[in-house]
């Protein structure tokens, strides 16, 4: 298998995804970790949590990985893992890793996969602020669903 996807409420492990994509034909491993920030637009974030529809989201992550393999032909392996539940500050909610023969395609593929995960995966974010506000968002910060 050349793709690995997972959704879990446990802490994510960067060594696991980096080792998964390691490949003797690859000259490049590109990795992205999305981490919880303690501020958003100047407001102090007190907690950030993710909810997913696991069965749909896993299928979507698999589709994205397969599409990426078809689009970036020198890419050998792809891993995409997403955490649910509360994710502490400076801790990863998503990890994407890609191995490729040449570095350029690794960068392009990593960024492409990340954007597709944010656009398409059935994963939602709940951000709570120190001032009492909270926002319920689709994963992509451009899609604010409701403010409570």
Q: What is the binding site for its own copies (CB under 8 A)?
A: 14-15, 18, 22-39, 89-90, 92, 99, 101, 103, 106-107, 110-111, 114
In 3-state terms, what secondary structure has residue 69? helix
Q: How far is the CB of 55 from its own copies (least distance, A)?
A: 27
Q: How far is the CB of 69 from its own copies (least distance, A)?
A: 19
Residue whose C-alpha is closest to residue 32's, from 67, 64, 79: 79
Tell me whether residue 11 or residue 56 sits nearer to its own copies (CB atom): 11
Tell me whether residue 53 or residue 111 sits nearer to its own copies (CB atom): 111
- For residue 38, CA distances in Å to 35, 91, 94, 110, 128 come to 10, 11, 17, 25, 10
- For residue 6, CA distances in Å to 42, 68, 96 come to 32, 17, 11
Tell me whether residue 14 or residue 73 sits nearer to its own copies (CB atom): 14
Tell me whether residue 9 or residue 44 sits nearer to its own copies (CB atom): 44
Q: How far is the CB of 141 from its own copies (least distance, A)?
A: 9
Rounded to 5°, angle at Cα 32 from 20 and 85: 90
Q: How far is the CB of 101 from its own copies (least distance, A)?
A: 7
Q: How far is the CB of 40 from its own copies (least distance, A)?
A: 9
Report which DSSP code applies to 41: T
> What gap in Å lies between CA 35 and CA 133, rounded to an integer?
21
Tell me whether residue 56 or residue 99 sits nearer to its own copies (CB atom): 99
């Amino acid at each position: 298998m050349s793709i690995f996807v997972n959704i879990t409420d446990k802490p994510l492990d960067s060594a696991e995804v980096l080792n998964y994509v390691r490949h003797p034909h690859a000259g490049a491993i590109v990795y992205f970790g999305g981490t919880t920030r303690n501020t958003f637009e100047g407001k102090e974030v007190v907690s950030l949590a993710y909810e997913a529809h696991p069965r749909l989201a896993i299928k979507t992550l698999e589709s994205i990985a397969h599409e990426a393999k078809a689009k970036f032909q020198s890419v050998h392996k792809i891993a995409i893992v997403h955490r649910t539940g509360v994710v502490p500050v400076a801790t990863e909610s998503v990890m994407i890793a890609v191995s490729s023969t040449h570095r350029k395609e690794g960068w392009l593929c990593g960024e492409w996969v990340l954007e597709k995960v944010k656009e398409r995966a059935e994963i939602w974010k709940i951000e709570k602020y120190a001032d009492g506000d909270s926002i319920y968002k689709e994963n992509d910060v451009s899609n604010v669903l409701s403010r409570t």
